[in-house]
């Protein structure tokens, strides 16, 4: 058996997302399964080193995972030729300098989104990686969620006819922390720390829309800070300076109108924390994170507006659930395996840092749209 051992510097994986999705459910899971099988006699095996500022947290992660090496000295591992990939899951404010340093050290780059705090820096990071000649990628995990894969297959099969519009709902109630502890970190609600739902979610919306419904050409967004005060991890009240809700309308070069609401102040009465309803001339689908329901033209009821009687149509009927027709793995792990194959085997990987910059661009324009109360054209980067 031929084994390609790939050293990976994993910076910032002590956070919730970094620990759960990138370390435990991706790299640890790949190692536990014996690596990424690329042929009957060939595997890619990650060799991670955990990097962070808190040595106790790093030691705890090393204890519970197969990633046994850790350090608080980023420079020492960036200078070590046995590590060829740098991965960044730090808070956004720390990402630019660390990724720049790693690229200039000759490391291939894989990082979380947003890739930077503004479009200029995001584009510059992509250019730095290109100039350094290193492979680079950004996490765009939602593309490999079972619900969105089912949507994609329906599109490939021509189920929708002409797609007209997309309606999305994302979010849930995040407790303020006054009596019930918050389930999201406090920095999410402080603009000065890189927080805000628009910066977070518009990066996701951009790659989902671009990859499924056409390139985004325009955006109109309204942001709000509905909850003015929350309580941090130490039990101290703090003023919320970042937006906690955003209401966004986009148009694509395919003529599809996309509207998505995102809020951390909404109580869920829908199928999942994220749902996308895609309406077409021949049929409609509603996709959640894992499941997808469809209604064909021939199964569409014919309601009549009459507010003086109880609604005679049960609108939850006449929908069919799309069955699983292919295996589904953890979405983060799927993309990690693709990036490892890209580095080792030079297989195509189009979700690079310039794609990540497009998400930052949409977030910048969305915030500008909200501030100026106007429609924004989305140009090419």
Of 20, 86, 19, 26, give the one whose Cα is nearest residue 332: 26
Considering the domain architecture, whether residues 136 and 230 belong to the same structural domain is answered as: no
Considering the domain architecture, whether residues 322 and 335 belong to the same structural domain is answered as: no
Residue 314 lies in a domain: yes
Which H or E run includes 313?
A: none
Using a CB cutoff of 8 Å and minimum separation of 24, what contacts does 23-28 make? 23/48, 23/50, 23/61, 23/65, 23/67, 24/64, 24/65, 25/330, 25/332, 25/333, 26/330, 26/332, 26/333, 26/336, 27/65, 27/67, 27/336, 28/65, 28/66, 28/67
Contact present, 241 and 132 (Cβ < 8 Å): no
- pLDDT attached to residue 347: 98
DSSP state of 116: S
Considering the domain architecture, whether residues 200 and 95 belong to the same structural domain is answered as: no
Contact present, 11 and 74 (Cβ < 8 Å): yes
Residue 381 lies in a domain: no
Considering the domain architecture, whether residues 324 and 184 belong to the same structural domain is answered as: yes
Residue 313 lies in a domain: yes
Kindly write down the DSSP assignment for every residue of 234-257, as one continuous string. Answer: TS-EEE--S-SEEEEEEEETTS-E
Q: Angle 303-170-258 (CA atoms, 0-180°, nearest 5)?
A: 65
- pLDDT attached to residue 1: 82
Residue 42 lies in a domain: yes
- pLDDT attached to residue 356: 97
- pLDDT attached to residue 312: 94
- pLDDT attached to residue 173: 98
- pLDDT attached to residue 185: 93
- Return d(Cα 92, Cα 125) in angstroms, integer: 13
Residue 356 lies in a domain: no
Q: What domain range is 38 assigned to?
A: 2-140+330-351
CATH number for the domain spanning 372: value is 3.30.360.10
Give me the average pLDDT of each 10-residue run along the chain (381 residues): 96 93 98 96 98 96 96 97 97 94 98 95 98 98 97 98 98 96 95 93 97 98 98 97 98 98 97 97 98 97 94 94 96 98 97 98 98 97 92
CATH number for the domain spanning 338: value is 3.40.50.720
Number of domains making up the chain? 2
Considering the domain architecture, whether residues 322 and 337 belong to the same structural domain is answered as: no
Q: Whole-prediction pTM value?
A: 0.94
């Amino acid at each position: 058996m031929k084994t390609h051992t790939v050293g990976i510097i994993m910076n910032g994986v002590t956070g919730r997302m970094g620990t759960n999705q990138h370390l435990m459910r991706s790299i640890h899971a790949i190692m536990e399964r014996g690596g990424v099988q690329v042929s009957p006699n060939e595997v890619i095996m990650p060799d991670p080193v955990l990097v962070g500022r808190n040595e106790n947290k790093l030691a705890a992660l090393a204890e519970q995972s197969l990633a046994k090496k850790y350090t608080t000295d980023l420079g020492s591992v960036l200078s070590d030729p046995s590590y060829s990939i740098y991965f960044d899951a730090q808070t956004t404010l720390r990402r630019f300098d660390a990724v720049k340093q790693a690229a200039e050290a000759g490391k291939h780059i894989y990082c979380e989104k947003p890739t930077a705090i503004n479009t200029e820096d995001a584009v510059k990071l992509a250019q730095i990686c290109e100039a350094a000649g290193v492979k680079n990628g950004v996490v765009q995990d939602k593309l490999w969620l079972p619900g969105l894969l089912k949507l994609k297959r329906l599109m490939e099969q021509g189920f929708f006819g002409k797609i007209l519009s997309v309606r999305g709902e994302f979010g849930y109630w995040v407790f303020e922390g006054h009596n019930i502890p918050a389930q999201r970190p406090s920095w999410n609600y402080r603009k000065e720390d890189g927080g805000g739902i628009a910066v977070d979610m518009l990066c996701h919306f951009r790659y989902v829309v671009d990859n499924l419904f056409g390139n985004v050409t325009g955006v109109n967004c309204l942001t709000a800070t509905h909850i003015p005060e929350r309580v941090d991890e130490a039990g101290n009240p703090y003023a919320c300076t970042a937006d906690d809700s955003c209401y966004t309308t986009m148009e694509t070069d395919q003529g599809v109108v996309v509207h998505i609401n995102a809020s951390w102040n909404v109580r869920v009465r829908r199928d999942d924390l994220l749902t996308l309803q895609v309406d077409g001339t021949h049929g409609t689908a509603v996709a959640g994170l894992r499941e997808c329901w469809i209604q064909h033209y021939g199964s569409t009821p014919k309601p009549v507006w009459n507010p003086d009687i109880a609604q005679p149509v049960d609108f939850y009927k006449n929908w069919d659930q799309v069955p699983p027709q292919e295996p589904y793995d953890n979405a983060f792990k799927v993309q990690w395996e693709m990036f490892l194959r890209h580095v080792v085997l030079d297989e195509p990987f189009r979700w690079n840092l310039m794609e990540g910059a497009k998400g930052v661009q949409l977030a910048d324009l969305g915030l500008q749209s909200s501030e100026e109360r106007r429609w924004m054209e989305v140009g090419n980067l």
